[in-house]
Amino acid sequence: MNNIQKPGLYIHIPFCVKKCNYCDFFSLGANDLSCRSGSDIYSSYASALLNEAKYLAECAMRRILRCGALTPEAYDTVYIGGGTPSLLPPENIIELVHILRTSFDIPYDAEITIEANPGTLTDAKLKAYREAVINRISIGVQSLDDAQLGFLGRIHNSKEAEEAVTLAKRYFENINVDFIFGIPGLSGISTSETLKNVRDKASFVIDRELPHVSFYSLITEPGTPLYSWDRAGRLDRVEDELEREMYYDFCNILQSHGYGQYEISNFALPGFESRHNLKYWSGAAYTGIGAGAVSFLPAPEDGQFVRFRNVPDIGTYINTYALSSCKDSCRLPETRGVSEIQEVLDVDARKKEYMMLGFRKTKGPDPELYSQLFGGALLSEDFCQEIDELIKSGYVRNDLSLTRKGLDMGNEIFMKFV
């Protein structure tokens, strides 16, 4: 691992009460878990997670013994995402975080986030999260309009979302809410989103003094019900013009209330930017634990990184980590268990990816961090031509920050680096 940025730790909980109509993440709704009862599979899964964490810690320990490295695996951000992590019994979460803390070096000021669905959040769960010293909670509110929530396939209504946030505020200071905008109507059934919906969302965040909000433009991902409705021409789409108006309305309102926009879809009060997510956009390493979780780690070859994914199958995953200790001799992380390599990145590929992801941040990729990561190389030299073109096209300012056009046309920027 590089010493400049500590890696992040991601835990995937691939369970939901019901899969949402727009979601293409690896997660199973209760209906898809027909063979075993829910609580059974939750506890088997939770213990598999613990075993994978212990196994990784063991590997790290052996590396230390072998190579004389001084510190155990250190993570200063942990993100428990899903799926719906709040679906697991709270004692599983307490135990999980406890094991992570004993297996790895996680400082007490680490950012530890858990995702929650308003329909599954209770006082007892929130209390348990605090007990586990989880210090950030991300709540998927998505919309404040019940017709839209129904269309998206959410399990909660707007009243429950409000209650969940109010409840969370009793235990957490660092709260994020997720919103989706640009929600179409289903032709002939419900109407699509309006500017008023968007302003309601902004007020929701400001009135409750929530320090962080993610504001996502709805994407129709292949394989989702939304996608097939779209293909069948059943969606009453929001036109680009209106969609952008919504976006900038939201940006302006938030900014005028002291929120900074630090990424295309993310806004925070100063100091509340998601440290974990920023790692993804800054070339940092991360370890993923759980079925379908992705890791991005340095490979033995000089300067190479490898991105690999654990098997996205709950049964296989549980079977792989059913035993509490791993008898195999310690192998390289990329060959661990049943994971599949997605991509091996050499220095050039990492540089490009750094640029692509860096331009998701409103300030653009950080040239200093670039030099630190890539042995003193200069971003302005390596990508002189691309940057020149981006500035000429009006996507990027001279200081590499995104212009409004750059925020609108992000893909044009990203495509320069793939």
Using DSSP, state whether 13 is helix, strand or coil: strand
Q: Are 154 and 206 in contact (CB under 8 A)?
A: no
CB of 272 to another protein, least distance (A): 18
- Name, in order, each residue with C-beta under 8 angstroms of 61's C-beta and a sequence gap of 6 or more: 72
Q: Which one, 75 or 286, has the nearer CB to another protein?
A: 286
Phi/psi of residue 253, nearest 5 degrees = -60, -45
Closer CB to another protein, 42 or 296, in the complex? 296
Of 32 and 221, which has the nearer Cβ to another protein? 221
Q: CA 291 to CA 313: how far, in whole Å?
A: 6
Q: How far is the CB of 343 from another protein (least distance, A)?
A: 5
Q: Report, in Å, the least distance between residue 66 CB and another protein.
A: 28
Least separation in angstroms between residue 3's CB and another protein is 20
What minimum distance in Å lies between the beta carbon of 357 and another protein? 7
Q: What type of residue is 408?
A: D
User: Which residues, 6 or more positions from 143, have their beta carbon under 8 angstroms from its beta carbon?
Assistant: 149, 152, 154, 158, 179, 180, 183, 193, 197, 201
Indicate the residue among 131 and 408 with the shorter CB distance to another protein.
Answer: 408
Nearer to another protein, 64 or 285 (CB): 285
- Of 18, 150, 10, whose CA–CA distance to 84 is shortest? 18
For every residue of 376-388, which 3-state class applies, written as one string?
A: CCCHHHHCHHHHH
Nearest distance from C-beta of residue 40 to another protein, angstroms: 26
Could you write out the DSSP letters of every residue in 343-377? EEE-HHHHHHHHHHHHTTBTT---HHHHHHHTTT-
In a 13 Å sphere around the CA of 123, the CA atoms on its Cβ side amount to 1
CA 145 vs CA 122, 250, 334: distances in Å: 22, 16, 44
* Contact positions vs another protein (CB under 8 A): 8, 10, 12, 25, 216-219, 240-241, 243-244, 247, 264-265, 277, 279-281, 286, 288, 292-294, 296, 307, 309, 342-343, 353, 356-357, 360, 407-412, 414-415, 418
CA distances from 388 to 288, 352, 357, 380, 397 (A): 36, 15, 18, 9, 10
Question: How many residues would you count in the chain?
Answer: 418
Which tokens is 288 given?
A: 């993923």
**Which residue's CB is nearer to another protein, number 57 or number 297?**
297
The residue among 25 and 227 lying less far from another protein, judged by its C-beta, is 25
Nearer to another protein, 20 or 128 (CB): 20
* Residue 351 C-beta: closest distance to another protein, Å: 14
Residue 356: CB minimum distance to another protein, A: 7
